[in-house]
Chain A
Amino acid sequence: MTSLSTITDDEKKRYVIISYMFECAAKLRLSIVTTASAAVIYHKCSSYLEKTDFDQYTLAATALSLASKYEEEHVKIRDLINVTYRTLYPDRPYLRISNEYYRLRNTLVDCELFLIRILGFHFQFNHPNKYLLHYLDTLTKWMMITPSTPIKNNINLIDIAMSILQDTYYDFTLIKDYSPQHIAIVIIYLLIKTYNLEIPGVTNDDEHINWMKVFSSSMTNDILIEIITRINTVYKYVERTLEHSSSIKSH
């Protein structure tokens, strides 16, 4: 297993692709769950195709297409091709219905069947989203945060939690090595630390594990530290990698 505080070159390449997928997903107005599913499909397939020269952008577009179907947020293939094409080549003219369009469409359809086989028809992924929302809901009741408490313009709290969660999808390690319950708990912990929120009954740092264990009995301090380390590493490198790749693009 690679160290949690370093990033391989392969992982850096994936950050660029995931960022590209998030951009396309936002343009296609896909929901966060569909976007997350697409990221998981991409990561899984990409790890099967490591050391091949399989085109990563094709893979990304296909993952978006499959996820949109699986999560019942169907996107027309024409829209999908247009958006993925324009995002990849912002300087080129719009893609007309042409031989090139049909070639791209054929590639996408073939690639869909290929990914379906790689995944063996198993698309389901237990996303941390629902755990995060439930835990947060339960915990704020326990904390008795009322509307008059400043941070209880609570929409922000949930939004921030969801943004952090969405960013974890950049990283395959976080997806494949940790349970969704643990990821959700750690994200809430990060919120608590960031905003200095008080939990009744928690007087020092070591006691945080108590409320975590209520949600997931398998949670430990080691797991907490591992996930936090990894999330911090991801944040550090994603930004750098993306800056680097966009500076290459603009040259």
Chain B
Amino acid sequence: MAYQTRPVEQARPLEQAPLEFPYIGDVSQYERIDKIGQGTFGEVFKARCKKTDDFVAMKLILMDQEKEGFPITALREIKILQELRHDNIVRLIEVCRSAMDKSSRSKFYFIFEFCDHDLAGVLRNAHVKFSLGHIKSIMQQLLDGLYFIHKNHIIHRDIKSANILITRNGVLKLADFGLAKVITPPKPNHQNRYTCRVVTLWYRPPELLLGERDYGPAIDMWGVGCIFAEMWIRSPIMQGNSEQHQLELISHLCGSIEPSVWPSVTKLPFYTKLKLPQNERRKVQDRMKPYIQEPLALDLIDKLLTLDPKLRIDADNALNSDFFYSEPPLAELKPLLSKYPSMFELKEVSRNAHNQQMQQQQRMKQARPNVPNLPSETIY
């Protein structure tokens, strides 16, 4: 148990070390190198451990709501990361604190193992060309990680390509458990009331957009479907600019949201409040066929992007899909990725900023706001 294994010298009584902070590691043992991530959650830095020379990723724990004390979300993230140990889950090395200055309380940092790339960064780099074997390997590892967390009654709630890290050895790691939650399995007479304002809009499943509060692992599987298609399309496939717009994009791709394909949808709070496109045909396969030649991949994407969360394929069944057991076999990612320096979305976006602006302008000219982002030409 923790208190028995702690080195004795750390257990000094308080008054002997009034200005020091015993008990947990000091963040100054890591040397900051570069900023590699930025989001609503805060900043992530690449750092080097001065003792071991290993690279680590350092993430500040935000403590804005000091009114309620240490944030429950951070505690949740720590709890989940401590309990989960899996090859495809990012490993938490320790939690550190900074020295306190006069004006403020000390800050806490997560220290993670360092991964060279994030999937969003890799996908935005047009030089990286995936074979079908590579894509199978990435998707299988992603599903392996998700299968593991779902089996442990945890849902991630922020699946997107920027939260999927890949080491230079080609091992995929699911990261950012800042929104993750332990869920209770459904009970007949009990309705969970989780917040539905989770998951980045472009990867948000229809049930959350319609206000479902008693959701489950299926919300992560929708994100997997989006990422799956993104592997070929190379940018997020449905880039809505509001909840309403996102639902329109979904309807245009997956067909109208109606009770005939999703019986319980009528019970969702916003189903009657929002105007949903009518008479749309489901055309996931048709629209993606030009970019994705592999029929088994199309089939799996189709099952992942199922509107009704009850019918959506789960991680276990997705892993058993023929896609992973057909020719060509899974390919090692290491030879492909070790050729490149670090690729992070933050960096790739600024590198491609000019490029993107041009694309944006073109998109504006074409004025097709309601069409999912399937480019008119293959990107590669």
Residue of A nearest to B11 (CB): A48
Q: Choose among A49, A110, A121, A124 the residue with the greatest number of B CB atoms under 10 Å from its CB.
A: A121
Contact A49 B13 (CB under 8 A): yes
B105 lies within 8 A of chain A by Cβ: yes
Give the number of chain B interface residues (Cβ < 8 Å).
Answer: 31
Q: Which of B14, B79, B105 contacts A123 (CB 8 A)?
A: B79
Q: Is the beta-carbon distance between A72 and B105 smaller than 8 angstroms?
A: no
Question: A109 near B: Cβ within 8 Å?
Answer: yes
B291 at the interface (CB under 8 A from A): no
Which of A49, A69, A105, A110 is the one whose CB lies under 8 Å from B75? Answer: A69
Q: Provide the residues of chain B in CB contact with A167, threshold 8 Å.
A: none
Interface residues in B256-280 by Cβ distance below 8 A to A read none
Partner of A77, one of B15, B21, B24, B69: B69
| B82 contacts A122, C-beta separation under 8 Å | yes
- Residue in contact with B23 in the complex, picked from A47, A109, A118, A123, CB distance below 8 Å: A118
B182 to chain A, nearest CB (A): 7
B83 touches A120 (CB 8 A): no
Cβ contacts A100-127/B at 8 Å (1 or 0 each): 0000010011101100111111111000
Q: Which of A44, A50, A120 is close to B24, meaning CB atoms less than 8 Å apart?
A: A120
Contact yes or no, B13 A76, CB < 8 A: no
B residues 23-39 near A (Cβ < 8 Å) are 23-24
- For residue B83, which residues in chain A have a CB less than 8 angstroms away from its CB? 124
What is the bound-complex CA distance between A70 and B82, given in angstroms?
A: 13
Which residue of chain A has the shortest Cβ distance to B68 in the bound complex? Answer: A77
Which of chain A's residues have a CB closer than 8 A to the CB of B78?
121
Is A52's CB within 8 Å of the partner chain B?
Answer: yes
Contact of A109 among B11, B66, B82, B106 (CB under 8 A): B66
Main secondary structure of the interface of A (DSSP, over half): helix
Count, A-B residue pairs, CB within 8 A: 69
In the complex, the chain B residue whose C-beta lies closest to that of A117 is B23
Q: Which residues does chain B contribute within 8 Å of A47, judged by CB atoms?
A: 3
CB atoms of A176 and B79 under 8 A apart: no
| Chain B 58-115 residues near chain A, CB threshold 8 A | 66-70, 72, 75-76, 78-79, 82-83, 95, 97, 105-106, 108
Measured in the bound complex, the distance between the Cα atoms of B24 and A130 in whole Å is 31
- In the complex, whether B2 has a CB less than 8 A from a CB of chain A is yes
Query: Smallest CB-CB separation from B1: which chain A residue?
Result: A176
Q: A121-B95, A124-B82 are in contact. Are A69 and B11 (CB under 8 A)?
A: no
Q: How far is the CA of A118 from the CA of B95 in the complex (A)?
A: 12
Query: A195 near B: Cβ within 8 Å?
Result: no
Is B190 close to A, CB under 8 A? no
Interface mask (B196-218 → A, CB under 8 Å = 1, otherwise 0)? 00000000000000000000000
Do residues A66 and B15 form an inter-chain contact, with CB atoms below 8 A? no
Docked Cα-Cα span, A109 to B69, in Å, equals: 5
B167 to chain A, nearest CB (A): 25
Q: Smallest CB–CB gap between B187 and chain A, Å?
A: 16
- The B-contacting residues of A in range 23-82, CB under 8 angstroms, are 44, 47-52, 54, 65-66, 69-70, 72, 74, 76-77
Nearest to B72 among chain A residues (CB) is A69
**B67 and A69 form a contact (CB under 8 A):** no
Interface residues of A in 111-150 (CB under 8 A from B): 112-113, 116-124
A residues at B contact (CB < 8 Å): 44, 47-52, 54, 65-66, 69-70, 72, 74, 76-77, 105, 108-110, 112-113, 116-124, 176
Offer 7 A-B interface pairs, CB within 8 angstroms, sorted by A.
A69-B69, A72-B76, A112-B70, A116-B108, A121-B95, A122-B82, A123-B75
Task: Enumerate the 3 nearest inter-chain pairs by beta-carbon distance, A residue then B residue, closest first.
Answer: A122-B2, A69-B72, A117-B23
